[in-house]
């Protein structure tokens, strides 16, 4: 494409002018690999954007989508139903921990987050506690880009351009501390006490004003921050004690990323009142998200006049038939490939390979769990983020897709990765770091 042809597309979360001078274009994908427009094979170290957990272009999903679009291309989602939406919810329910028995469909992680926040507010109101309007997020949290999501989110770069935020939002401190926890494997030992900050916030505002706490059980987009041992348990205990809903944003951690289980809630054995998800739900093939809510939340709405709409919320494409077909095919594959167990089995190999980067240039921390690793670099003086960005470009030139955020490299390959490909992935990062100053 000529450079003028690139102008109309306003790219998301991208330095548009820099990109269009030297575009990186992907044109096809299969299994563990992308193909670039110059016909180079690119090892996918990031599952696209944390979503292609099953690997690319799985024939079963392709077929399900093709057949569905030719059978029922679209069906209205308000006051009408189609069987696949009910089936997708039923299938998803079988992966969810009790008592998360109900599923509301959205089209993205951002919509899932805003939906969950709205359900939290409406839930308290339905129970006669309409004073509970405050929402608590966490510093460095990423909850998508809707106004709800950026308000409870804690990445300042995503907030500062937009003055308008939801009122009545407060934030927990983040849990990152390289002095205490550098090079930790799995959950770090230090930091459970940071959950007690919630007690301080609750005391400040009074529990009767607080609707919900939302956190990523493992903060992904900010650069892979694992929850300290005991931290999530304490959040759960404080929320329960004060009648505050706990929401886990599992848009990244859902569908086996941390190994052994579908969701981080199960991995950490801490069950929230709602889980938000997207990405791996359809393996990234068709946009789709969902909110799983507890039976108690759902039941609070199912009272009064049966002819009244219980929740004034929904999207034209909630439970879109083609997205549902992709979700059902993906959930089938997670099961038939036994992929959550596979991720757990590969995790020690991945961990060892990740921590071998300890000796690579610029590396000041490595942290990991399941098939995700964060590799933090010392920033170049006066140029934060430059070192990681250059590493990303070098890797791409050498045939590997990694992801960087600030000066942190985040690796999260499809769960079908082989041991040899794990070695290749980390070798590519080491090689790139060797040539970055
Ligand atoms: N929540 C979390 C935890 C995420 O990681 C993301 C995206 O990375 C989102 C929400 C937003 O999802 P989407 O980009 O699909 O709106």
Taking only the tens place, the pLDDT of each residue in 182-216 is 999 999 999 999 999 999 999 999 999 999 999 99
Does 50 score more than 90 pLDDT?
Answer: yes
Ligand 1 contact via 143 beta carbon (within 6 Å): yes
Angle formed at CA 309 by CA 249 and CA 207, multiple of 5 degrees: 45
- Give the number of the atom of ligand 1 that is nearest the alpha carbon of residue 111: 16
Q: What is the pLDDT of residue 244?
A: 98
Best probe residue, ligand 1, of 279, 285, 289, 374 (max atoms within 8 Å of C-beta): 279
Q: How far, in Å, is the centroid of ligand 1 from the Cα of 112? A: 9
Q: How confident is the model at residue 163 (pLDDT cuts 50, 70, 90)?
A: confident
Q: Give the HSE-up count for residue 95: Cα atoms under 13 Å, Cβ half-sphere.
A: 28
Rounded average pLDDT over 238-259: 98
Fold match between 3-54+338-435 and 63-336?
no
Does 4 score more than 90 pLDDT?
Answer: no
Query: What are the pLDDT digits (tens) for 300-314?
Result: 999 999 999 999 999
**Options 3.90.1150.10, 2.40.160.20, 3.40.720.10, 3.90.950.20; CATH of 3-54+338-435:** 3.90.1150.10
Q: How far, in Å, is the centroid of ligand 1 from the Cα of 81? A: 27
Q: Is the dihedral of CA 185, 218, 221, 198 positive or negative?
A: negative
Does 31 score more than 90 pLDDT?
Answer: yes
From atom 6 of ligand 1, which residue's Cα is the shortest distance away?
A: 144
Query: What are the pLDDT digits (tens) for 87-142?
Result: 999 999 999 999 999 999 999 999 999 999 999 999 999 999 999 999 999 999 99
Q: How far, in Å, is the centroid of ligand 1 from the Cα of 407? A: 20
Ligand 1 contact via 144 beta carbon (within 6 Å): yes
Q: pTM of the entire structure?
A: 0.98
- Give the number of the atom of ligand 1 that is nearest the alpha carbon of residue 50: 8
Ligand 1 contact via 110 beta carbon (within 6 Å): yes
Tell which wins on pLDDT, 2 or 16.
Answer: 16
Query: What are the pLDDT digits (tens) for 172-185?
Result: 999 999 999 999 99
Share of the chain above pLDDT 70, in %: 99
- Give the number of the atom of ligand 1 that is nearest the alpha carbon of residue 252: 5
Q: How far, in Å, is the centroid of ligand 1 from the Cα of 245? A: 20
Q: What is the pLDDT of residue 428?
A: 98
From atom 4 of ligand 1, which residue's Cα is the shortest distance away?
A: 251
| Whole-angstrom distance, CA of residue 367 vs CA of residue 224 | 7
Provide the 10 A C-beta neighbour count for residue 369.
Answer: 25
Q: What is the pLDDT of residue 164?
A: 81
Ligand 1 contact via 251 beta carbon (within 6 Å): yes
Query: What are the pLDDT digits (tens) for 87-96?
Result: 999 999 999 9
Q: Where are the domains of the chain?
A: 3-54+338-435, 63-336
From atom 12 of ligand 1, which residue's Cα is the shortest distance away?
A: 109
CATH of the domain spanning 63-336: 3.40.640.10
| Average pLDDT in the chain | 97
Q: How far, in Å, is the centroid of ligand 1 from the Cα of 306? A: 34
Q: How far, in Å, is the centroid of ligand 1 from the Cα of 70? A: 30
| Whole-angstrom distance, CA of residue 412 vs CA of residue 254 | 12
Query: What are the pLDDT digits (tens) for 322-369?
Result: 999 999 999 999 999 999 999 999 999 999 999 999 999 999 999 999
Query: What are the pLDDT digits (tens) for 254-293?
Result: 999 999 999 999 999 999 999 999 999 999 999 999 999 9
Q: How far, in Å, is the centroid of ligand 1 from the Cα of 410? A: 15
Q: How confident is the model at residue 2 (pLDDT cuts 50, 70, 90)?
A: low
Q: How confident is the model at residue 83 (pLDDT cuts 50, 70, 90)?
A: very high
Ligand 1 contact via 403 beta carbon (within 6 Å): no
Ligand 1 contact via 221 beta carbon (within 6 Å): yes
Does 3 score more than 80 pLDDT?
Answer: no
- Per-residue 3-state assignment (H helix, E strand, C coil) for the chain: CCHHHHCCCCCCCCCHHHHHHCCCCEEEEEECEEEECCCCEEEECCHHHHCCCCCECCHHHHHHHHHHHHHCCCCCCCCCCCHHHHHHHHHHHHHCCCCCCEEEEECCHHHHHHHHHHHHHHHHHHCCCCCCCEEEEECCCCCCCCHHHHHHCCCHHHHCCCCCCCCCEEEECCCCCHHHHCCCECCCCCCHHHHHHHHHHHHHHCHHHEEEEEECCCECCCCCECCCCCHHHHHHHHHHHHCCEEEEECCCCCCCCCCCCCCHHHHHCCCCCEEEECHHHCCCCCCCEEEEECHHHHHHHCCCCCCCCCCCCCCCCCCCHHHHHHHHHHHHHHHHCCHHHHHHHHHHHHHHHHHHHHHCCCEEEEEEECCEEEEEECCECCECCHHHHHHHHHHHHCCEECEEECCEEEECCCCCCCHHHHHHHHHHHHHHHHHCC
Ligand 1 contact via 257 beta carbon (within 6 Å): no
Ligand 1 contact via 106 beta carbon (within 6 Å): no
Ligand 1 contact via 134 beta carbon (within 6 Å): no
């Amino acid at each position: 494409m000529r450079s003028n042809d690139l102008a109309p597309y306003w790219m998301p979360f991208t330095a548009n002018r820099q990109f269009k001078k030297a575009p990186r274009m992907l044109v096809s994908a299969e299994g563990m690999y992308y193909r670039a427009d110059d016909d180079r094979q690119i090892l996918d170290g990031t599952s696209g954007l944390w979503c292609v957990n099953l690997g690319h272009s799985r024939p079963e999903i392709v077929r399900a989508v093709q057949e569905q679009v030719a059978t029922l291309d679209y069906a209205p989602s308000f006051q009408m139903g189609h069987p696949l939406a009910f089936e997708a919810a039923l299938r998803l329910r079988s992966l969810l921990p009790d008592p998360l028995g109900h599923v509301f469909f959205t089209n993205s992680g951002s919509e899932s987050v805003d939906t969950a926040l709205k359900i939290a507010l409406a839930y308290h109101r339905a129970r006669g506690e309409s004073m509970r309007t405050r929402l608590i997020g966490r510093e460095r949290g990423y909850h998508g880009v809707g106004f709800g999501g950026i308000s409870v989110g804690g990445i300042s770069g995503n907030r500062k351009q937009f003055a308008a935020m939801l009122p009545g939002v407060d934030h927990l401190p983040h849990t990152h501390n390289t002095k205490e926890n550098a090079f930790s494997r799995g959950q770090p030992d230090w930091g459970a006490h940071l959950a007690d900050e919630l007690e301080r916030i609750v005391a400040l505002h009074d529990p009767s004003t607080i609707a919900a706490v939302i956190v990523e059980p493992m903060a992904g987009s900010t650069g892979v921050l694992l929850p300290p041992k005991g931290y999530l348990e304490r959040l759960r205990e404080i929320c329960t004690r004060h009648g505050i809903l706990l929401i886990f944003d599992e848009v990244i951690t859902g569908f086996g990323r941390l190994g052994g289980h579908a969701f981080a809630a199960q991995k950490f054995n801490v069950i929230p009142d709602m889980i938000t998800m997207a990405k791996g739900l359809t393996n990234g093939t068709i946009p789709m998200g969902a909110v799983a809510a507890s039976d108690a939340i759902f039941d609070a709405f199912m009272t009064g006049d049966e002819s009244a709409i219980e929740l004034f919320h929904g999207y034209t494409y909630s439970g879109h038939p083609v997205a549902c077909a992709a979700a059902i095919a993906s959930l089938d594959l997670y099961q038939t490939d036994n992929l959550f167990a596979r991720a757990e089995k590969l995790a020690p190999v991945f961990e060892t390979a990740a921590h071998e980067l300890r000796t690579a240039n610029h590396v000041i921390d490595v942290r990991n769990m399941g098939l995700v690793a964060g590799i933090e670099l010392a920033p170049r003086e006066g140029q934060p983020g430059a070192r990681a960005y250059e590493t990303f470009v070098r890797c791409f030139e050498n045939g590997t897709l990694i992801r960087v955020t600030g000066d942190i490299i985040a690796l999260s390959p499809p769960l079908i990765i082989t041991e040899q490909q794990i070695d290749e992935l980390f070798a590519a990062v080491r090689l790139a770091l060797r040539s970055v100053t």
